[in-house]
Every structure is written in structure tokens, then in C-alpha cells.
Amino acid sequence: MPPGFGGMGGMPGHGHGHGGGGSRQPAQRKKADPIEQVLKLTLEEMYYGVQKTLKLTRTVLRGSQEQRVSETLTIDVKPGWKKGTKITFPEKGDEAPGTIAADIIFVVEEKKHPRFERDGNDLIKTVTVDLHEALLGSSVFVSTLNGKSINIEVPEIVDPKYVKILVGEGMPLSKSPASKGDLKIKFDIRFPKELSAEQREALKSCLSAAKY
């Protein structure tokens, strides 16, 4: 029976066989293939760190008898962990005669965040500005992942590729949590749905003389 942990299974154990020449020798034991399980984390959990406890039910050998036992696995998520990070629990799969128990490996997966995207150690946030703000300058309020509110002045002309960078407002670095990546602000420029003839003429007059 596979371990009762999110459908995970494993095949470990231990056994002996008979060697040649009438002597009893241990049989060669093969280790079961590792069992991978997804560990889904929010950006906040990977920013601050968190302790996750997970219940595992698996088969163990007591002499020649198989027993189902429950265990608790603890994962200390460190600030700055990224998707793809692996945490291994050696030989925590099912035990079976003649087999070494499989390792259980958790692979970190990042949950989709409603406000931020992650790019390595950097965070990306998209804000919406109207066309006149993109051309004439604006200020935008941004809430960071750790809850700070920052007023950002954007006097530059904002084109669709423009990125404003807030240094040190990104994710912690896993090997140096006191250091952080950056927060990159991207802009979604909202265009007017219609313009009157007078507005079109005024824009044409202003923009035709602009420097490109």
C-alpha cells in the first residue's frame, strides 16, 4: 500500500537471500525510485519564511510484519526560496522486503499572486495610467509585498516598454536574506475610447511638433 501522503507512494525495505555454496548472504537491495510531491507556496511565504508541517502515512516493517504508521514531516521554508527548490526526506517511502525505501522529495511551486509577478529575486508590478499621465507625468501609489505604501513620482514620458525600478523592494536573497532584489514597476497605458474633432486637431497640433 502506498504512503498516504497526497497520493504519494514508495517501495523500501530490507531482505536477505541465499548465496551459493550453502552460505547465507544478504541479497542486493535496490532503492525505490524517489517520489516527488509539489509544495505550493505563496509569495508572502517565500518572502518571510514559514514552517510547514505535513502528515504522512506509510508502511514500515516490524520484523516480518508490515505496519501502517503516521508521521509528521516539517519543512522550514527560508526567506528567498524560489520555485524549483527541492527538499528531500531520505527513505520516507513505504518499506518492503528486499527494497530500500524511496526518498520523498518536495518541489516548491509558486502560487499565482494577484498583484505581483516574480522574476528571480525581483518582483514585477503593473500599474495603470491614462495616456495624458503617460505623456505629461504622474505619481502613483504602490503597495509593496511587505505592506509599505510608496508614492512614486514619474516625471518621464512613459512608453509601453518603460520600467521604473525601486531598488531593494523585491524578494530576499536566500543566501543573504538581509539583501533584497528590486521591485520593477511596469505601466499599462489606458487610451481614450474616442476623441472629438477638436481634440484630434489639438493633439495633432501639439504632437506633430514634438521631438521623437
Q: Indicate if the pLDDT at residue 174 is higher than 80.
A: yes
Q: Indicate if the pLDDT at residue 35 is higher than 50.
A: yes
| CB 152 within 8 Å of CB 169 | no
Locate all alpha helices (DSSP H) within 13-171, ordered by sequence.
43-48, 131-136
Which pLDDT does position 24 carry in this prediction? 62
Question: Given the DSSP bridges, would you call strands 35-41 and 104-110 parallel, antiparallel or unpaired?
Answer: parallel
Quick one: cell of 82? 524560489
Which pLDDT does position 23 carry in this prediction? 57
Q: Indicate if the pLDDT at residue 10 is higher than 60.
A: no
Question: Given the DSSP bridges, would you call strands 117-119 and 122-130 parallel, antiparallel or unpaired?
Answer: antiparallel
Q: Tell me: the pLDDT tens digits for 125-145?
A: 999 999 999 999 999 999 999
Average pLDDT, the chain: 88
For residues 28 and 166, give the distance between their C-alpha atoms in angstroms, rounded to a whole number: 58
Q: Tell me: the pLDDT tens digits for 45-81?
A: 999 999 999 999 999 998 888 899 999 999 999 999 9
Q: Which of 161, 79, 170 is nearest to 118 (CA)?
A: 170
